[in-house]
Each structure stands twice: as C-alpha cells, then as structure tokens.
Amino acid sequence: MTEESQQGPSKPLIDSAKRMPMRNLLALVAVQAVGLAVILSVSWLLEGDLSIVATLLVPPLVSFVLIVAQPQLPSSRPLRVLGAYALTGFLGICLSILPWPATILGVMAGATALFFFYLFGVFHAPHLPCPLPRSWPAMSWQMSLRPMAS
Amino acid sequence: MAGYVLADVPKAYGILMIYTVLVIGLAIVTNRVLGYRSYPDKWW
C-alpha cells in the first residue's frame, strides 16, 4: 500500500496564503474606487459625440485594477503597459476601420492580442474591444459597463 | 452601420493614450497612498 493510498482519497488542503487585513482591504477598495471615478469622469469629458469612446474605456478600467492589485508583476511596469497600449491599440483601431464583419475582426484582434501577450509578456492589450462599435453603434459607456455590473 | 471610420483613428488613438497615461499615473498615486512605495520598482 502506497503512502498516498494510506492517506485516503482526499487530503486536507492547507492554504498558506496570508489574507489581507480588513482595514487594508477596505482602504484598497476605497482608493481604487476613487481611481475608477477619475477614469469615468475623464471618459465623460472625452465622450462628446464619439460613441467609440465606450469601447476604449473598458480596457483601461481593467488595467488600472490589475496594476494596483499586483504592482510587483513585470507586466504591471509602466513602460510595458504604455508600450502595449501604444502598439496594440493602434492595431486594434486600424482593424476596426476594415469593412469586414465584427466577428472576423474580433477574432483577428483576439489573435493579435494573444500574440503580443506572449511575445512581450505584457498582459494588457486594449484592442480586442475596438471592433465592437460595428455591433453596438449606439452604445454609451454606461451601457458598456452594464455587463460588468451584472 | 456605424463604427470607426478613418477620420476617427487619430482621435480614438489619442483618447486611448490619454487613458493609458491616466491609468499609469493613477496606479502610481494609488500605490503611494496605500503605502506600496516600491511601485514602480522598474519602469520596463
């Protein structure tokens, strides 16, 4: 009988991760909420008559949360994030002006996003949602956030 | 069908870059406020 079988079909798992103290957790959420409010306020100022702003807004919101939550990761370093947004944002926006179906553009955007994810090790790429205005032409940023809240 | 047109590209790209700089700036400030002064440990 092996040692493993003597222990039974299941072993108790010990989670060695340290939990964040509640006070620190509340401070983190509060400060991040202020940051999100600033980004949303800037979006409101930039939106004007451009419905495309809605699809440009979601990736920065996600990136902000990820960077603050895991600042020690190499992918959170400022110039990597800036480089990823500069390159893949340009590609995504250029893809979006092609007169092809949104599904095809979305798949192409996803594939190029994955390529640059793995090539540069930067897990922030904003251009996947860029082709979406073709599908949701009248979407405002409030509508774009609705799926995130549900 | 509405969507991006060529004339939208410069403005859309500019807006995206504004967001990016804003996100990085806010992340640095947020980490300072929370006491994580090591961010950014490295810029690249």
Residues A46-92 pLDDT 10s? 776 666 666 778 888 888 888 888 888 888 889 888 888 888 888 87
Q: Quick check: is B14 in a domain? A: yes
Q: Quick check: is B41 in a domain? A: no
8 Å CB contact of B26 and A138? no
Q: Quick check: is B26 in a domain? A: yes
Convert the pLDDT of each residue in B6-39 to its tens digit: 777 788 888 888 989 999 999 999 888 888 777 8
* Alpha-carbon gap, residue A109 to A103, rounded angstroms: 10
- Residue B21 contacts A, CB cutoff 8 Å: yes
Chain A hits for B27, CB-CB cut-off 8 Å, are 35, 64, 67-68, 71, 76, 78
Among the ranges A62-66, A105-109, A144-148, B19-23, which has the highest mean pLDDT value?
A: B19-23
Q: What is the average per-residue pLDDT within A23-36?
A: 88
- Residue B14 contacts A, CB cutoff 8 Å: no
Predicted confidence at residue A3, as pLDDT, reads 54
Could you give the dihedral angle defined by the CA atoms of residues B36, B38, B42 and B44, in that order, rounded to the nearest 10 degrees?
10
- The three-state secondary structure class of A4 is helix
Domain count, chain B: 1
Q: Quick check: is B20 in a domain? A: yes
Residue A41 predicted with pLDDT over 90? no
For residue A147, is the peptide bond before it cis, meaning its omega torsion is within 30 degrees of 0? no
Residue A14 predicted with pLDDT over 90? no
Q: Quick check: is B36 in a domain? A: no
Whether residue B28 contacts residue A45, with contact meaning beta carbons closer than 8 Å, is answered with no
* Alpha-carbon gap, residue A45 to A58, rounded angstroms: 16
8 Å CB contact of B30 and A63? no
Q: Between A32, A89, A97, which is nearest B16 by CB?
A: A89
Residue B19: give the domain boundaries: 7-31
Predicted confidence at residue B24, as pLDDT, reads 92
ipTM of the complex: 0.87
Predicted confidence at residue A23, as pLDDT, reads 87
* Alpha-carbon gap, residue B27 to A68, rounded angstroms: 6
* Alpha-carbon gap, residue A75 to A67, rounded angstroms: 8
8 Å CB contact of B40 and A78? yes
- Residue A44 contacts B, CB cutoff 8 Å: no
Q: Quick check: is B1 in a domain? A: no
Q: Which of B23, B32, B33 best tests the A interface by mutation, with the highest count of A CBs <10 A? A: B23
Look at residues B10, B23, B1, B34 and name the one whose alpha carbon lies nearest to residue A124.
B23
